[in-house]
Amino acid sequence: MPWFGLVVGVVIAALAALAIGAIMMRLSGHCLPLDTIA
């Protein structure tokens, strides 16, 4: 059963990365470099 947990973890991490990435791509100006560093 650890393989199932691994797959679920990867899917959750990918969805979180897509959500954060979508927010980051909407930023412009000086907010973008500051938020990517943080």
Mean pLDDT by 10 residues, the chain (38 residues): 93 95 80 74
Determine if the pTM surpasses 0.85. Answer: no
At residue 38, the pLDDT reads 65
- State residue 5's pLDDT score: 95
Report pLDDT for 7.
Answer: 97
Q: State residue 14's pLDDT score.
A: 97
Give me the pLDDT at residue 6, please: 96
Q: Is 3 helix (H, G, I), strand (E, B) or coil?
A: helix
